[in-house]
Amino acid sequence: MKKKIIIKSTELFLNLGFKSVTMDDIAAEMGISKKTIYQYFETKTKLIEATAIYKFESISESIDAIFTLDANPIEELFKIKEFITNYMSNLKKSPEFQLKKYYPRIHTILRQKQFEVMQSCVIDNLNRGIAEGLYRDNLNVEIISRLYFNALGALKDEELFPTNQFTLQELLDYYLEYHLRGICTPLGTTLLNKKILLKLITNNEKQTNTII
Kindly report, residue by residue over 164-177, the tens digit of the pLDDT. Answer: 999 988 999 999 99
Q: Give domain status of residue 178, yes or no.
A: yes
Question: Over the stretch 58-103, which tens digit does the pLDDT of each residue have?
Answer: 999 988 899 888 889 999 999 999 998 888 776 666 788 889 889 9
Average pLDDT over residues 179-187: 97
* Amino acid identity for residue 143 in this structure: I
**Chain-centre distance of CA 16, in angstroms?**
19
Q: Which has the minimum average pLDDT: 28-32, 161-165, 203-207?
A: 203-207
CA distances 119 to 77, 111, 180, 191, Å, are: 14, 12, 17, 24
Q: What is the pLDDT of residues 8-35, one digit of tens each?
A: 999 999 999 999 999 999 999 999 999 9
Contacting residues for 19 by C-beta, under 8 A, at least 6 apart: 98, 102
Task: Give me the mean pLDDT over the 180-206 stretch.
Answer: 88
Compute the half-sphere exposure of residue 71: CA atoms within 13 Å on the CB side of its CA: 15
Query: Which residue type does 201 have?
Result: I
pLDDT tier for residue 209 given thresholds of 50, 70 and 90:
low
Confidence at residue 96, expressed as pLDDT on a 0 to 100 scale: 82
Q: Is residue 165 part of a domain?
A: yes
User: Of residues 210 and 196, which shows the higher confidence score?
Assistant: 196
Which CA distances in Å does 101 have to 52, 104, 201? 14, 6, 41
Q: Give me the number of domains the chain comprises.
A: 1
Query: How many Å apart are CA 112 and CA 106, to the nearest integer?
Result: 10
What whole-number distance in Å separates Cα of residue 209 and Cα of residue 212?
A: 5
Please check whether residue 37 lies inside any domain of the structure: no
189 neighbors 75 (Cβ within 8 angstroms): no
Rounded CA gap, 188 and 66, in Å? 20
Domain coverage including residue 62: 48-211
Whether 36 maps to a domain, the answer reads no
CA distance linking residue 98 with residue 51, whole number of Å = 13
Q: By C-alpha distance, which of 112, 2, 91 is closest to 50?
A: 2
Residue 164: which CATH number?
1.10.357.10
Does a structural domain hold residue 5? no
Share of the chain above pLDDT 90, in %: 71
Whether 16 maps to a domain, the answer reads: no
Does residue 72 sit within a domain?
yes
pLDDT-based confidence at residue 41 (cuts at 50, 70, 90): very high
CA 98 from chain centre, in angstroms, equals: 15
In tens, the pLDDT along 48-63 reads: 999 999 999 999 998 8
pLDDT at 177: 96
Is the model more confident about 111 or about 156?
A: 111
Q: What is the mean pLDDT of the chain?
A: 91
Compute the distance between CA of residue 174 and CA of residue 138 in angstroms, rounded to an integer.
Answer: 24
The answer to whether the beta carbons of residues 138 and 57 sit under 8 Å apart is no
Write down the pLDDT at residue 202.
67
Query: Is pLDDT above 70 for 206?
Result: no
Report the alpha-carbon distance of residue 135 to residue 123 in Å, rounded.
Answer: 12
- Give the global pTM: 0.85
Answer yes or no: are the C-beta atoms of 41 and 66 closer than 8 Å: no
Query: Per the domain annotation, does 29 fall within a domain?
Result: no
